[in-house]
Structure 1
Amino acid sequence: MTTTKKHILILLAIGAVLFFLGNSFIAITDPVESNYTLTAAEMFASGDYISPRIYGNYWYDKPVFFYWELIAAFKVFGVNEFAARFFPALAGVAGLFMVYGFARRVYDAKTGLFSALILGTSFEYWLISKTVITDLSLFLFFNAVLVFFYLAYTSQHKNYYYLCYLFAGLAVLTKGPVGILLPGFIITVFILWCRDFAEIKHMRWLGGMAIFLLVGGGWYYIMYQLHGQIFLDTFLGIHNVLRATVSEHPKFNVWYYYTVIFFLGFFPWCFSLPMVIRKYWKKRQWPVLDQTTVFLLLWAFLVNGFYQCMATKYTTYTLPALMPTAILAARLLYAQERLVKRLVAFSICFYLALTFLVAVPLCNSSYSGRNIAVALQGHVQTGDMVINYGDYKASVVFYGHKTVYNLVHANELEKVRPKAMSWSSKNVMPFISFEELPDNKNLYIIVDKNKRSDFDKSFKTDEWKVVKMLPEATIYYRPAQGSD
């Protein structure tokens, strides 16, 4: 067996075990995963694969590509947890081969294998590969732009530049303008550092931009034609400009946020690097800072620096920086083969234990509304109304296939309803006030565990019958007025 075939089999086996195993048993969680799965499920059911929709309303939160992935998986595997997690897991495996191929090309096969092993067993990469969000798809397309740029830049095969534009288009179709702006910024800084301005004329601008506009711009054009200015105002205004300028979670808007995320996300390899650096420090022999190393360093630091400057911070934003970081770590650990093997073996065992002993029970009980939806089955009939009081779980709608109204007081309705250039724009679920609750319908109300005392104060509890008590919520029933 050749070295390449051996490496491929190793990465396939590790990718399958780490990213696919257990996915069927992990419930869809709130609030993020359920929004994606519910949107894709509604698009799938409606047959409209262009306009994302949730709760029956058009939904301009993210571009369409990840929804297409989910719909494709639903078509093949059915609407279930394994299908929802299929493409993130597949992207996780694909990412291993991308870093392997790139590091092998710019260095050697051993560096390629170590880079892929380090990346695949990094905590953040493993976690996102099992999570129903856009970030692993973006990781692939975003980093592919930079991979093919560098391959084109360092070789005579300038047609690689066309692949840069293709993947930039897919990145924009997955996440928005950042899919071309940030890779473009990194490339610009690298060209400035090299002072190789002559390379600009070889970048296949005319054909490349045609590819980018066709792949990345076609859906945006169709959406604008269908929905007009509201699409641009919501998608670009709220989900891009507002995120960059107004923090959605102000407590996380601190200067050290992504430093902490790096050490958490790069576990367990973050602990091995100081030992290696200390060894180099003692010998006063540092790795040569060649052109490739500079490119990888710019790639890693500029991704983190860019998002640190944004007002809204999420743990997953800097995921693309893990690829160059893994390659740099592989170079530092090149002679530490025993250490690498031990950490990989430890990580595989650790993540399997984490999957079945932590993720499966915790997601099923505390972070998903699946148990609530199951408890409602057999009770809710056509014409009955289901209401939520407290923490709203879109997963209840996904699993239960019922409309769930969010209950608030009448004087709070204006504050929580969607408004332009406000974070309330994300509140697209149906609302109902206490004062609007109908007497002529059977009512089922899901009372969040933190709202039970408020429920007792707001309602005559003798009118309500307990249907099911769960750790995360209690379900109550009130029959229509005049019924038995």
Structure 2
Amino acid sequence: MEYWENDRSPLLRFYHRHWPAFLLGLLGLLLFFSANGQLLITDPVESNYALTAGEMLVSGGWLSPRIYGNYWYDKPWLFYGELLGNRDSHTLFHMKLCRGLLLSLSIAALWYGPMVQLHGNAFLKGFIGVHNILRATVSEHPRNNTWWYYFLIFLIGCFPWSLSLPWLWKRYGKTLRLRFHRHTFWQSLDDRQRFLFLWVFVTWLFFEFMATKYPTYTFPCLPPLAIGLAASLDTLQAEYWAKRLAAGLALVFLVLAHTLAVPLCRQASAWDAAQLIRVYRLPSVPVYVYGGRYPVSFTWYSGIPAPRLVTRERLAEMRPEGISWNAKNMMPFQTIEDLPQEGHMLVLVDENSQKEFLRTLPGQWHKVGEGGRWAVWARKG
């Protein structure tokens, strides 16, 4: 009999029996919310979703995502694949697949149906065409399109646990090679191991064949990897040092969240530029953006939808038309050729575009200040 079964209080018995779950939940809350209120919204991705949610809330249209006033159509079959691997047709046919599929489709239809009815072909082109088909067939970031990209993300994202790979290979490598050579690898796994293996391998293989690669696509692989690694450590009686390493990493994370993450987020945000504009700008003075990745966070913090300055030729190339990556260019634009030659205006200029900006735009400019990767320049009439 366990010691906690002698407790008279049912609440204490429940706690003593499930204290690991309580500890894990408390640690998760601490790590998730640590420094959360000090982290600024960053560019180029997070700010898009924040501004979209804000505009939906203000407009009262909770169904259709929108940004800068434009509609924006951005964003467990493995279990069946495993019991198939076991050739267990009896279990497969008693899993209520038809009813489960109908339930899944019904839940999805609660949003897809009204969106198709409201926006028709525009939604199909934007959401299905651009953010699914185009993303799968044309790389949005060609520099990431390498065979080793997700392996590198795994090494970084799972650090320091990824350092155990050489140790695990030394322990199991010879056995694995032998099982693959004899074609007995699959038979050597139990049901749980097969499910975890399929979860990792199929997810990785699916996204490996997609043209566009993102670090976040690896997230579905992390839970089975964590479970499998934890099982390996338990088998190898490495629980002692694993617990202490996890506790040490939690402490490091808390320290870095306050000392490193906060300033890095500020650097990747246009919050400082927004504060400069608020102090310096008069109500009638226009504000523009020049160079770099468009800072949506500036609009979030200032409330000013500053147009992006481009040439007429460049504007023709960037217009969000058809099924192309230009469909993501929802920010307002202003052509440089159509700017007035005189008059007061403010421009947010990317740190790498300062000299080009001064050569391109006419007038006497002076720098108001800098914040993050943006400098605020002013022209007086």
Shorter-chain TM-score tier? 0.7 to 0.9
Distance of aligned partners of 1:440 and 1:455 in 2 relative to their CA distance in 1, 3 Å threshold: closer
Distance of aligned partners of 1:230 and 1:4 in 2 relative to their CA distance in 1, 3 Å threshold: farther
What residue is the counterpart of 1:97 in the other structure? none
What residue is the counterpart of 1:298 in the other structure? 198
In 2, Cα distance between equivalents of 1:339 and 1:10: 18
TM-score (structure 2 length as normaliser):
0.88
- The Cα offsets for residues 32-79 of structure 1, whole Å up to 9 and x where unpaired, read as 1000000001111111101100011111112xxxxxxxxxxxxxxxxx
Structure 1 residue 188: Cα displacement: 4.4
In 2, Cα distance between equivalents of 1:426 and 1:258: 25
What residue is the counterpart of 1:231 in the other structure? 123
In 1, Cα distance between equivalents of 2:357 and 2:125: 38
What residue is the counterpart of 2:6 in the other structure? none
Within 5 Å, give how 1:292-441 maps onto structure 2. Answer: 292-334=192-234, 335-364=237-266, 366-391=267-292, 392-438=294-340
What is the RMSD of the two structures over their aligned residues, measured on CA atoms? 2.3
1:58 lines up with 2:71 in the alignment: yes
Is contact 2:348-2:375 (8 Å) kept? yes
Query: What is the DSSP-based 3-state SS (H/G/I as helix, E as strand, rest coil) of the residue aligned with 1:476?
Result: strand
1:274 lines up with 2:174 in the alignment: no
What residue is the counterpart of 1:18 in the other structure? 31
Distance of aligned partners of 1:383 and 1:226 in 2 relative to their CA distance in 1, 3 Å threshold: farther
Is contact 1:273-1:329 (8 Å) kept? no
In 2, Cα distance between equivalents of 1:50 and 1:43: 8
Structure 1 residue 440: Cα displacement: 7.9
Higher relative contact order (CA 8 A, sep 6+): 2
1:49 lines up with 2:54 in the alignment: no
Is contact 2:130-2:323 (8 Å) kept? yes
Amino acid at match of 1:267: F
Is contact 1:276-1:333 (8 Å) kept? no
Query: What is the DSSP-based 3-state SS (H/G/I as helix, E as strand, rest coil) of the residue aligned with 1:310?
Result: coil
Within 5 Å, give how 1:463-474 maps onto structure 2. Answer: 464-470=365-371, 472-474=373-375
Structure 2, unaligned stretches of length 5 or more? 1-11, 180-184
In 1, Cα distance between equivalents of 2:341 and 2:283: 16
Distance of aligned partners of 1:192 and 1:53 in 2 relative to their CA distance in 1, 3 Å threshold: same
Query: What is the DSSP-based 3-state SS (H/G/I as helix, E as strand, rest coil) of the residue aligned with 1:450?
Result: coil
Query: What is the DSSP-based 3-state SS (H/G/I as helix, E as strand, rest coil) of the residue aligned with 2:279?
Result: coil
Query: What is the DSSP-based 3-state SS (H/G/I as helix, E as strand, rest coil) of the residue aligned with 1:305?
Result: helix
Identity within the alignment, %: 40
Is contact 1:383-1:441 (8 Å) kept? no
Distance of aligned partners of 1:232 and 1:282 in 2 relative to their CA distance in 1, 3 Å threshold: closer
Amino acid at match of 1:376: I
TM-score (structure 1 length as normaliser):
0.70
In 2, Cα distance between equivalents of 1:280 and 1:448: 51
In 2, Cα distance between equivalents of 1:390 and 1:398: 19
Within 5 Å, give how 1:143-292 maps onto structure 2. Answer: 183-184=76-77, 186-279=78-171, 289-292=189-192
Distance of aligned partners of 1:460 and 1:281 in 2 relative to their CA distance in 1, 3 Å threshold: closer
Is contact 2:342-2:363 (8 Å) kept? no
Structure 1 residue 461: Cα displacement: 4.5
- The Cα offsets for residues 416-467 of structure 1, whole Å up to 9 and x where unpaired, read as 11121211111110011111224686421111111110112113442x3432
Structure 1 residue 226: Cα displacement: 0.7
Distance of aligned partners of 1:327 and 1:236 in 2 relative to their CA distance in 1, 3 Å threshold: same
- Structure of higher CA gyration radius: 2
In 2, Cα distance between equivalents of 1:292 and 1:397: 48
Structure 1 residue 272: Cα displacement: 2.7
In 2, Cα distance between equivalents of 1:468 and 1:439: 23
Is contact 2:270-2:374 (8 Å) kept? no
Amino acid at match of 1:13: L
Query: What is the DSSP-based 3-state SS (H/G/I as helix, E as strand, rest coil) of the residue aligned with 1:429?
Result: coil
Distance of aligned partners of 1:283 and 1:469 in 2 relative to their CA distance in 1, 3 Å threshold: closer
Distance of aligned partners of 1:297 and 1:471 in 2 relative to their CA distance in 1, 3 Å threshold: closer
Is contact 1:418-1:427 (8 Å) kept? yes
Query: What is the DSSP-based 3-state SS (H/G/I as helix, E as strand, rest coil) of the residue aligned with 1:444?
Result: strand
Amino acid at match of 2:67: I
Structure 1 residue 307: Cα displacement: 0.5
In 2, Cα distance between equivalents of 1:441 and 1:227: 41
Amino acid at match of 2:110: G
Structure 1 residue 189: Cα displacement: 2.9
Is contact 1:467-1:476 (8 Å) kept? yes
Distance of aligned partners of 1:215 and 1:441 in 2 relative to their CA distance in 1, 3 Å threshold: farther
Structure 1 residue 282: Cα displacement: 8.7
Structure 1, unaligned stretches of length 5 or more? 63-182
Aligned length: 357
Structure 1 residue 396: Cα displacement: 0.2
Query: What is the DSSP-based 3-state SS (H/G/I as helix, E as strand, rest coil) of the residue aligned with 1:404?
Result: coil
Is contact 1:385-1:441 (8 Å) kept? no
In 2, Cα distance between equivalents of 1:398 and 1:216: 30
Query: What is the DSSP-based 3-state SS (H/G/I as helix, E as strand, rest coil) of the residue aligned with 2:216?
Result: coil
